[in-house]
Amino acid sequence: MSGPLLQGQLAVVTAGTSGIGRAVVERFLAEGAEVIVTGMSPERIEEAQRAWGDQARVLRADGSDLGDLDRLVTEIKATGREVDVLVANAGRDIDARNLADTSPDDFDYVADLNFRGTFILLQKLSALLADGARIVLVSSIGGSNGSRGHSVYNATKAAVRSLARTLTSELGERGIRANAVSPGPTATAGFDQFTGGSKAIEQKVAAMVPIRRVGRPDEVASAVTFLASAESSFIAGVELVVDGGMSQV
């Protein structure tokens, strides 16, 4: 297929002011989409809005806050357009801690954004999606493996992956396709939090990847763009793993 993959389409990308989400936004803009982006830090929101200009609208919205999600819906409605692509990317983890050390607050902190927030985002936006729209859910290889100390995060990511199946079943009659992208270790601020900024830990992680390095956000963005475009027109309900083979060996 030639030409930009998302020309003239309206996309919504959550948590798009840094890391994987930012790489997705920048690729979507390059592919001709207009993008509504959410972020948290006012400085990064301002910087991103300046960098992207009129093709993007960057809003502050905490993905775990229902009032913020309602405001996002209002902003989307104000465009008078239907949403062609929704990328549910917002997610977070806490420092590794075993089952016995995980408090109810830890549980809520992770689950409120990764699963409850993602679920309610999808619920609120489903009526705004165009027939034939694409949903891309950002899960994680943690949803399928059992990395020690990350029980809540991993379970929420399995839940997010599961949503790609159920939403395909429920929204398929409108031609809407839902798929998940599951990154392995990817160089972002979120990953630095996981390694504690330690180069030695990063190298250890890289050594567990068959191709001996961690991924780049733009490599995850390529997979998201594929699933967000007509290039994947008969693919629905799947999980596309982007991890240099880490979870396969």
Ligand X SMILES: NC(=O)c1ccc[n+]([C@@H]2O[C@H](COP(=O)([O-])OP(=O)(O)OC[C@H]3O[C@@H](n4cnc5c(N)ncnc54)[C@H](OP(=O)(O)O)[C@@H]3O)[C@@H](O)[C@H]2O)c1
Catalytic residue annotation: 153
Site string for ligand X, 20-39 (x = CB under 6 A): xx----------------xx
Residue 90 binds to ligand X (criterion: CB under 6 A): yes
Candidates 9, 18, 225, 232; binder of ligand X (CB under 6 A) is: 18
Size of the site for ligand X (CB under 6 A): 30
Residue 143 binds to ligand X (criterion: CB under 6 A): no
Residue 40 binds to ligand X (criterion: CB under 6 A): yes
Among the candidate windows 3-11, 86-94, 96-104, 223-231, which touches ligand X by CB under 6 A? Answer: 86-94
Neighbours of 216 (CB within 10 A): 14
Site string for ligand X, 219-248 (x = CB under 6 A): ------------------------------
* 178-217 positions binding ligand X, by CB under 6 A: 183, 185-186, 188-191
Site string for ligand X, 54-83 (x = CB under 6 A): --------xxx-------------------
Please answer whether residues 35 and 55 qualify as being in contact, where contact means their C-beta atoms are separated by less than 8 angstroms: yes
CB of 61 to ligand X, least distance (A): 6
Rounded CA-CA distance 177/170 in Å is 10
Q: Of 60 and 130, which has the nearer Cβ to ligand X?
A: 60
Chain contacts with ligand X (rule: CB under 6 A):
14-21, 38-41, 44, 62-64, 89-92, 113, 138, 140, 183, 185-186, 188-191
